[in-house]
Structure 1
Amino acid sequence: MAGLQHITEPLSERSVDVNAQGGRYGNALQAASFRGREEVVLLLLERGAHVNAQGGEYDNALHAAKCHEYDEIVRRLLEKSAEVDAHGGDYLGS
């Protein structure tokens, strides 16, 4: 998830589950949001990533992006109906 679209795009064009759960951030969308990788976030959303998927340190992608002030990613997630009132995650109050 280093933000390298030339790696993530070919993978997502195949039958890769962009909503797979696991790891520190819970899912790829949350990891990309945490790292501020807008192009990867957009790619994952385009490929069907669940914007409100729960899990990981921040519990969802919106919280991960918001905590690190990635405003453009926050905007993109909100455009895809990210739930503003979702609860959970270790960093909810930040």
Structure 2
Amino acid sequence: GHDKVVQLLLSKGANVKMQDGTYGNALGMASVRGHYKTVELLLEAGANISAQGVEQGNALEAASYNGHEKIVELLLSKVANIKAKRY
């Protein structure tokens, strides 16, 4: 997950709430790819756990779909919205 780069960007004020259409936000992308530490860092920095992307829904849906069980558990522990509606 390029954790050191993520930490550097966060320390320089990177906007973790920025969204795009494909993955929703950086948290969604990290969840799709299975980058546990990056997901942790983004959650700690206040990333929107329910941001919707076009490809695989929110971070919880993306992690579930791609079989990343530890990330699913982490997101559930942070009260991910498991009833989020897809458009």
Tell me if TM exceeds 0.5. yes
CA distance in structure 1 between the partners assigned to 2:19 and 2:49 by the alignment = 13
One-letter code of the match for 1:76?
L
CA distance in structure 1 between the partners assigned to 2:85 and 2:44 by the alignment = 25
Percent sequence identity over aligned pairs:
43
SS of 1:65's equivalent?
helix
CA distance in structure 1 between the partners assigned to 2:83 and 2:21 by the alignment = 24
Structure 2 residues not aligned, in runs of 5+: none
CA distance in structure 2 between the partners assigned to 1:54 and 1:24 by the alignment = 9
| Displacement of 1:55 | 2.4
TM-score (norm 1): 0.85
| Displacement of 1:60 | 0.4
CA distance in structure 2 between the partners assigned to 1:78 and 1:53 by the alignment = 15
| Preserved contact between residue 25 and residue 31 of structure 1 (Cα < 8 Å) | yes
Structure 1 residues not aligned, in runs of 5+: 90-94
TM-score (norm 2): 0.92
Please provide the CA RMSD for this pair: 1.3
CA distance in structure 2 between the partners assigned to 1:84 and 1:44 by the alignment = 19
* Structure 1 pair 82–9 and aligned structure 2 pair: CA distance change class (3 A): same
CA distance in structure 2 between the partners assigned to 1:72 and 1:50 by the alignment = 19
| Displacement of 1:22 | 1.1
- What corresponds to 1:86 in structure 2? 84
CA distance in structure 2 between the partners assigned to 1:31 and 1:21 by the alignment = 11
| 1:15 is the counterpart of 2:13 | yes
